[in-house]
């Protein structure tokens, strides 16, 4: 048993999610203290509890301290197991962030999970980013991952549902190959007129084709009903992606252009992956080897490197004009 200071470096939910995932993979019990200590609402929120429960279900762990506002938990993993889970935080908490905690553990044994909450919410990747940016890198390494969006869910009502399934197996090294230039777009909405997804996608496509010269393929996902109202755009080119969320009063065209401008900036920056994917991939790099690069060493990446080292999974990081990760 060892102790992790949950307020260190990034000091948010990432520390908790990554700590319990590494605890499960390594078989090392861990206590996480001072959880989100410096956040406006410190301690555990429902989505953090849901992430811990997802990981606990994949390794038959015993947990203490799982309560709203709790600032300390103890996680004692058991044997990794293949299991079908259902997780519902009861809020619009981020489904992608819950899956981020569960996925590295599930890759060891296989299994499935159905998560209820928000598919596209603030301060989180969208579910489409997970499916079209993160997952393809892991699939190329040999992982079998299927992600199905059953319902879209937005803040504040949530109600989205996603089913993810992983087949057992050991992926190979994380390598980012050179790909033919091109862009993908997913424009989605729930409870809004169908022209919203069309306008979002058209604005994103026009900007990307103009600024990058890449042909774009767009998928429109318009849902008539559902528990909430909202929209989002996810865009990507290879292992670089960007997202934007709709909000009341913001024209659909601006949602599409916001995502597209962020992707253009990433594509014009050095590195093989975007700055957000760089930190999300670190646990897989540590476990399976490989290499990739990005343009900025983010606080999330620094935090992940620190935690991986604490658990005995060091990752090499060289930061000059280019930030290079290798293991």
Peptide bond into 156 cis (omega under 30): yes
Name the token pair of 136. Answer: 């393809």
Query: Which whole-number Å values give the CA distances from 55 to 79, 101, 210, 285, in the listed order?
Result: 12, 7, 43, 19
Query: Which DSSP symbol is given to 141?
Result: T
CA angle 58, 63, 65 (to 5 degrees): 140
Distance CA 174, CA 327 (A): 9
- Residues near 264 by beta carbon (within 8 Å), at least 6 away in sequence: 207, 208, 211, 212
Question: Catalytic amino acids?
Answer: 300
Peptide bond into 206 cis (omega under 30): no
Chain-centre distance for alpha carbon 274? 13
Distance CA 148, CA 164 (A): 6
CA angle 152, 229, 150 (to 5 degrees): 15
Count other C-beta atoms under 10 Å from residue 44's C-beta.
26
Task: Determine which helix (DSSP H) or strand (DSSP E) holds 213, and give its type and residue range.
Answer: none
Task: Determine which helix (DSSP H) or strand (DSSP E) holds 279, and give its type and residue range.
Answer: helix 275-280
Name the token pair of 266. Answer: 């990433």
Distance CA 280, CA 134 (A): 8
Which strands form 230-237's sheet, in the order they lie side by side? Answer: 216-223, 183-190, 230-237, 240-245
> Radius of gyration of the chain from Cα atoms?
19
């Amino acid at each position: 048993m060892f102790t992790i200071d949950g307020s260190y470096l990034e000091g948010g939910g990432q520390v908790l999610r990554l700590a319990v995932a590494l605890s499960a993979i390594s078989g090392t019990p861990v206590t996480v203290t001072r959880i989100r200590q410096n956040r406006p609402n410190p301690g555990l929120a429902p989505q953090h509890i849901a992430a811990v429960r997802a990981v606990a279900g994949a390794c038959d762990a015993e947990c203490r301290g799982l309560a709203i506002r709790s600032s300390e938990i103890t996680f004692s993993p058991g044997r990794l197991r293949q299991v079908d889970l259902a997780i519902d935080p009861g809020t619009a908490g981020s489904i992608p962030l819950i899956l981020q905690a569960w996925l590295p553990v599930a890759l060891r044994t296989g299994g499935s999970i159905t998560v209820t909450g928000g598919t596209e919410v603030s301060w989180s990747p969208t579910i489409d980013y997970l499916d079209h940016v993160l997952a393809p890198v892991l699939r190329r390494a040999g992982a079998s991952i299927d992600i199905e969006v059953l319902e879209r869910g937005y803040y504040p009502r949530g109600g989205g549902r996603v089913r993810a399934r992983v087949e057992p197996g050991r992926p190979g090294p994380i390598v980012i190959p050179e790909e033919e230039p091109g862009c993908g777009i997913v424009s989605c909405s729930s409870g809004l007129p169908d022209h919203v997804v069309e306008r979002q996608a058209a604005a994103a496509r026009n900007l990307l084709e103009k600024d990058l010269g890449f042909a774009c393929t767009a998928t429109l996902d318009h849902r008539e009903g559902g528990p909430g109202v909202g929209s989002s755009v996810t865009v990507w080119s290879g292992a670089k992606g960007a997202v934007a969320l709709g909000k009341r009063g913001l024209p659909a065209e601006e949602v599409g252009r916001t995502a597209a401008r962020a992707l253009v900036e990433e594509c014009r920056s050095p590195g093989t992956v975007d700055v957000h994917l760089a930190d999300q991939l670190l646990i897989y790099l540590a476990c399976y080897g490989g290499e990739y690069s990005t343009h900025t060493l983010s606080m999330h990446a620094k935090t992940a490197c620190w935690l991986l080292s604490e658990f005995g999974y060091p990752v090499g990081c060289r930061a000059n004009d280019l930030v290079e990760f290798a293991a």
